[in-house]
Amino acid sequence: MKVTVDPIGCRAHGLCADLLPEAVRLDEWGYPVVASGPVPPGLVAEARRAVAACPALALRLRKD
Amino acid sequence: MTILPPHHLDLAGHRRRNGVVPWVAYHGEDGRDRLIEAVAAADLRGRGGAGFPTAVKLRSARAPRSVVVANGCEGDPLSHKDAALLTLSPHLVLDGLQLAAHAVGAGEAVLCVHAGSPVLPSVFAALAERDDPVPVRVEEIPRRYVASEETALVHYLTSGDARPLGKSPRPDERGVRGRPTLVDNVETLAQLALVILLGPQHYLSARRDLVTVTGVVRRPGVVEVAPGAPLTAVLAAAGGETEPVQAVLVGGYGGTWTSDFRFGVSGIPAVYALPARACGLEYTAKVLAFLAAESARQCGPCMFGLPAIAADFAELLRGGPSTARLARRLPPLTGRGACAHPDGAARLAASALQVFGADLAAHSAGGRCRILERVA
């Protein structure tokens, strides 16, 4: 599983970086920079929570 | 073989020069297969800048009632090759458009150019002479830089909004009004026509790419070069340098600076030769300001990142210490937008910092250029 961002939908709320700091950091303008590798199995549940919490529905979890 | 004729060709002139498409050889479903196989055998790649194999694109857009879009917008200010082609040899593009429409089974073909483009009279005159199986509609696209990006064209033709749509779904899955859509640059279509008119073997041995050459060359304009030709050969095709050249911008405004003139160019729409007496940082700062202003303002990294790096370059010119900030800012601009616009700006900026070390040192030492003369 991989975390991705819909760049057009994203409004820089930043919840993803709060909820999933292991895979998401914010750039200087508050937009997420996601780790390129797969989400470690132990973090998948957290990743799902972060995806559900995104107010813009711009965070996604994709099978890679 | 040369692609561009010296003067505008009407239909009869085009047929005399380039021949007639052998439609009978490509009849029916088997014929579509043979057509795409010929394109694959000729190793044709997209001439819009991305260089993607055209046969792969044709195969994936093959679907009932799909749409073919010819992209003749040419938003890059350094590129004029598509305009030259549509002005001098519009029928070659239209032959290619009909062949592509046949290959994917399209019922609809759209030729896109920028609103008010000077190529319109030539295009309309050519269309009036033809009686094509797939009707061609001409659409005038807003004159903005990213409006002619592939997904932006599809978005505009569907909704009237010429902003990029993002990476998925691809136009070949869901394009214009939800239909599978093939978007090809007009030169790609002209090259496709040549593959069929000449046959893939003859095409492979004779093929030439169109490249716009500007800057300090004797005959600025559109030249034809063998794929992979070194920059020295590209500059020579435009008459050679009129004065010492410091570096060449390869690939237009979102391209790469290089001072290695043995650098082989392939799939490049435009090169610009910067004279040694001009400041590379100053030229780059102007281009970055242009690119920042042309953002579609949809994606954060582009909307905020491009003005930031343009400001960093302006600061470099004043002798400010922004190189460390640029080194931090440039890498995360790549791969994070809905289109490749921020990637191109980051590539341009990073190559400028590498190539213009002398200009950089002069500016940071005294806040002013080692060069006194201004070159636009």
pLDDT at B320: 85
Residue corresponding to tokens 């599983």: A1
What is the rounded average pLDDT of the residues B38-64?
A: 91
Q: Which of A33, A30, A12, A31 is nearest to A22 (CA)?
A: A33
* Angle, CA B65 vertex, CA B61 and CA B68 arms, to 5°: 50
Q: How many CB pairs under 8 A join A and B?
A: 35
Give the whole-number percent of chain A exceeding pLDDT 90. Answer: 89
pLDDT at position A8 over 90: yes
pLDDT at position B205 over 80: yes
Tokens of B124: 């309309």
pLDDT at position B366 over 80: no
Q: Which of B149, B147, B182 is nearest to B167 (CA)?
A: B149
What is the rounded average pLDDT of the residues B202-211?
A: 95
The band of B304, judged by pLDDT with boundaries at 50, 70 and 90, is very high
B67 SS3 class: strand
What is the rounded average pLDDT of the residues B94-110?
A: 97
For the whole model, what pTM was predicted? 0.93
pLDDT at position B358 over 70: yes
pLDDT at position B376 over 60: no
pLDDT at position B202 over 70: yes
B331 touches chain A (CB under 8 A): no
Minimum mean pLDDT range among B69-78, B160-169, B251-260: B160-169
Chain B stretch 137-196, residues whose beta carbon is closer than 8 A to a beta carbon of chain A: 164-166
Strands B256-258 and B66-71, sheet pairing: unpaired
- Cβ contacts of A6 on chain B, cutoff 8 Å: 166
pLDDT at B247: 96
B235 SS3 class: helix
Q: Which contacts qualify for B355-360: CB closer than 8 Å, 24 or more apart?
A: B355/B247, B355/B257, B355/B258, B355/B259, B355/B280, B356/B246, B356/B247, B356/B257, B356/B279, B356/B280, B356/B281, B356/B284, B359/B279, B359/B280, B359/B281, B359/B282, B360/B281, B360/B316, B360/B323
Inter-chain residue contact B305 with A12, CB threshold 8 Å:
no
pLDDT at position A47 over 90: yes
Tokens of B203: 């095409």
* Interface predicted TM-score (ipTM): 0.93
pLDDT at position B370 over 70: no
Residue corresponding to tokens 């239209």: B94
pLDDT at B166: 82
Interface test with B, best of A2, A5, A31, A36 (most B CBs within 10 A): A31
